Amino acid sequence: MPGDLITLSRVSKSYRRGRESIAIFDNLSMSIPQGDFVAMMGPSGSGKTTLLNLIGGTDRADAGEIVFDGGRIDTLSESQLAAWRAANVGFVFQFYNLMPVLTAAENVELPLMLTGLSHRKRRQNVETALRIVELADRARHKPKELSGGQQQRVAIARAIVSDPKLLLCDEPTGDLDRATADEILRMLQLLNRELGKTIVMVTHDPEAAKYARRTLHLDKGRFVEQGTGS
């Protein structure tokens, strides 16, 4: 069994709402092995997205340690975290979050602007990523010219184009019909099984969770039970 890619140790996080402090996690610990595909489920407000944000370095814990591939990320500065995210994490959002002014290929190229790759190498990587999501023929289309499923596949291509170890998906099928959702989930499963990407997926959909290797249930900031996917 490969080692843990992500380890959270006694992580606490709370938010302020006016004068009130709302605790999301208190001393939460967990680990995710390399190559895992984890679905995180739970009711609204259970802390799923907050946990995803902490793992992805887009939010900071109040206390505790977050270790990624042997190195702590909770101690990194803002600019170091940005560079770390660019190199190690791909993000897939519920509403795709593509740049409407860019073509599919240009959207996929965005993370590569943060690398020192040559123009030619970048173009090759973009073509490869679009081929993986089976959208090579839509490279020049703008997001508004694509269906929801196609836009999400472009978003997945953008997430994998810089070959990150970790993919974080926040409700990736929440805006899609069942058939398209299954298509996207099969693609994520493929990325996990064939390319060894570690995937953490937040979802409300039990059907989506079945595509993961295991499911973590969060409630009020605590894991309540674990299940196994397909």
Query: Which residue, 1 or 101, has its beta carbon nearer to another protein?
Result: 101
Chosen residue from 36, 109, 171, 205 binding another protein by CB under 8 A:
109
- Helix ranges (H only) for 89-171 are 104-109, 119-132, 148-160
Here the tokens at position 135 are 């959208």
Compute the least distance from the CB of residue 229 to another protein, in Å. 26
The CA-based angle 27-33-36, given to 5 degrees, is 115
Q: Which residues contact 53 (CB under 8 A, 6 or more apart)?
A: 59
Residue (124 or 230) nearer to another protein, CB: 124
- Considering only 47, 64, 111, 172, the residue that binds another protein (CB under 8 A) is 111
Rounded to an integer, what distance in angstroms lies between the CA atom of residue 45 and that of residue 35?
28
Contact with another protein (CB under 8 A) among 9, 26, 45, 87: 87
What's the DSSP call for residue 102? Answer: S
Considering beta carbons, is residue 60 or 222 the nearer one to another protein?
60
Residues that bind another protein (CB under 8 A): 53, 56, 58-59, 78-79, 82-83, 85-87, 91, 93, 95, 97, 99-102, 106, 109-111, 113-114, 158
